Structure formats: structure tokens, C-alpha cells
Structure 1
Amino acid sequence: MRHRIAGNRMNMPEPRRRSARRNLMAGLIRYDRIQTTEARARAIRGEAEKLISVAVKGREDARKHLASVVSDEEQATKVLEFARKGRFSLKHSVASNEERAKVQKAPLTDKGRKFQEDKLKARREELLAIFPNENEAEKALQAAYHSMVIELHARRLILSALPDELVVKKLFEELAPRYLGRPGGYTRITKLGRRKGDAAEIAQIALV
């Protein structure tokens, strides 16, 4: 009896099965298509589509949150690129050596202080070139940081199931934008006939 056993067990021990599923899903996402037995293709199809759905939903939720604050799409793209460079606020300033000593930081030399001030000034000018109004700029930047947190949560969910940074990067940078607005159905299985030797059904599973 197969009570409480969901999906195809692929006729192998659990640790080996888990590794095989991860490798097959990573190959599918990395190369867009792979050939394997029909049983294995069907075994990974549901989980692969679920991971793509998590990426699409994470990307869409992040985009919607930013769009709720920044309605202009071009400005939203620019402020998100700006936010990815690191934490910043228009309220930031270079702390004095006395303030740095209180938090156990080394004092800055005159050259080091000038470098930090020039860096802050350049970032300030870059942000204000996108949003001339300081209040709007600050709100847009905080919204961009929050949208990054939303996407980061989705990335971590996928990494827990498929620990491959390059595959997750492709999921968010290539596949999520491709499938925005598509309600599932990201893969297609095509039968290719029988394999010589053991006559196993061979199939190709590919991203639509």
C-alpha cells in the first residue's frame, strides 16, 4: 500500500532520489531542455513548475510593491538598479572621529574622510537625478529596498529546495520575466521512443 507517499519514487533510496531530482531540475533550468526517461520527467515536472512559480510570484510581488510607490516604470527600473548598489539614504553623513570612536570604529584620515564624502555626494546626485524631490527620492528608495527583500525571500525558498546559485540566478533574471502573467504550464514533455537495451520510454522535458 502507498499511503501518504506522493509522487513518483523513481525506484531508488530517498537520499539518492533527492539528489537525482535536484540534478534533473537544475539541468532543465540551466539548459531549457533535457532528455531522460519518461518516468523521471514526470517525477520532476511538478516540483520544477512549483519552483518557477515561486520565482515568478516573488518577482511580480516585488514589482507590484515598487509600482505602488513609483508609478513610472523607467524611474522604478533606475531606482531599483541604484538600490542594488548598496544601502543608502539622503540622511547619511560621514561620522566624526569622536562618533566613530563611540562605536569602536577606527578614525578616518583627511584623505579617507574626503573619499567617503565624495562617495556620498556622488550617490546623492545620482539618486536626485532620478527623483529631484528629496522626499519622493527617499520614499522610492525605501520601496526599492523592500521589493528586494520580497525577492530575496523567494530566492531563499528556492535555494532551500535547489541549492544552486547559478540556477536560481537564471530563474529570476531570465525565466521569471519570461513567464510574468502566465498562470502555470511552464514545461512540456515530448515522448521520443524507447531506449535501446532496456526499452525504457525516453522523453524530452523542456521549458515552454
Structure 2
Amino acid sequence: MRHRKAGNKLGRNHSHRRALLRNLVTSVVIEDRVETTVAKAKAVRPLVEKMITLGKRGDIHSRRQAAAFLQTPESVSRLFATVAPRYGDRQGGYLRIVRTGFRQGDGGEKAMIELLGAEQELGAKQQKRAEAKAKKREELERQLAEQGGNEEGGSEENA
């Protein structure tokens, strides 16, 4: 009997499951959006909400508790500086789980777990990425044009 045994096992032992959930929480805090399985998304939701509640509290004890759970110092500073103030007047429900289909290899159901209100930030990141990609493409095309011009010029000199 599993009386008073809350939480999903996710097919892992205790230490592996704890490491997996800590990594997922850290990724959600840093990236605002993570794609994973539905079971993992449901398991990580209360942990992320607890971290955001610690961030909203904002005292040194909360910061130390968050630092003990999150993997990187950057995630702790981001939690307290940008993520938690976003939800100052909200009483919970900081996450959205969106089912995104099935995985190609084993058919596992995938889901996107994302922080609410991060759409503007994610849009800005996406735009920045698109601009960097366009700039890189222009640079590559310019280099190819220069190489093409050099090769044609070199063949005329030899002829």
C-alpha cells in the first residue's frame, strides 16, 4: 500500500528523481519555457511554484533555501530579480502546461511548461535570435560572394 506516499516516481530512484526535478526547475526559471513529458511537467509544477513563492518573499532565508535547491547562482539571481516580481499580486498558478503532441521515438506525450506572463520576454528572445541568424546569413553570403569573385578573377589571370 502507498499510503501517504505523494508524488510520481517517474521510473527513477530517489536521488535520480530529485536531480531530474532540480534540473527542470532550474531550466524553467532560467528559460521561462521547457519542453518535457506531461508526467515530468506535472511533477515539477509544485516545485517551481514553491520557488516563485520563495522569490516573492525575498528575504535572506528564502534566498538561501532557493540556492540550496536550484543548480546555478544565475538561476537564483534571476528568480529573485525578474521572475518573482512578475507575480507580485498573483496568489499562485504561475505556470501553464500545454500538451504539444507525441514524441517520435517512443510515442511519449510531450508538454510545454512555461511561466505565465513571459510571452513578451520570449518574443524578444525569439526576435533577437532571428536578427542574429539573419546577420550571420548576410555575413556568410557576403563571404561566398567574395570567394566567388576571387575564384573568377584568379582564373582570368591564368588564362
Q: Does residue 54 of the first structure (1) align with residue 54 of the second (2)? A: yes
What is the match of residue 156 of structure 1?
Answer: 64
For residue 7 of structure 1, report the CA deviation from its aligned partner: 1.2
Instruction: Write the deviation string for residues 25-67 of structure 1: whole angstroms up to 9, x where unpaired.
Output: 1111100000000000001001110110111122xxxxxxxxx
Q: Does residue 10 of the first structure (1) align with residue 19 of the second (2)? A: no
Instruction: Write the deviation string for residues 178-203 of structure 1: whole angstroms up to 9, x where unpaired.
Output: 11111111100000011112111100
TM-score if structure 1 supplies the norm length?
0.54
Instruction: Write the deviation string for residues 57-115 of structure 1: whole angstroms up to 9, x where unpaired.
Output: 22xxxxxxxxxxxxxxxxxxxxxxxxxxxxxxxxxxxxxxxxxxxxxxxxxxxxxxxxx
**For 1:6 and 1:161, how far apart are their aligned partners in 2?**
19
Between the two proteins, the alignment pairs up a number of residues equal to 116
Poorly superposed stretches of 4+, deviation over 6 Å: none
* Matched AA of 2:87: Y
Aligned-pair identity in percent equals 42
- Confirm or deny: 8 A CA contact 2:23 2:71 kept in the other structure: no
TM-score if structure 2 supplies the norm length?
0.70
Q: Does residue 204 of the first structure (1) align with residue 137 of the second (2)? A: no
Q: Does residue 185 of the first structure (1) align with residue 93 of the second (2)? A: yes
Q: How does 1:1-208 map to 2 (within 5 A)?
A: 1-58=1-58, 151-208=59-116
For residue 162 of structure 1, report the CA deviation from its aligned partner: 2.0
* Structure 2 unaligned residues grouped into runs of 5+: 117-159
**For 2:84 and 2:53, how far apart are their aligned partners in 1?**
8
SS in 2 for 1:28: helix
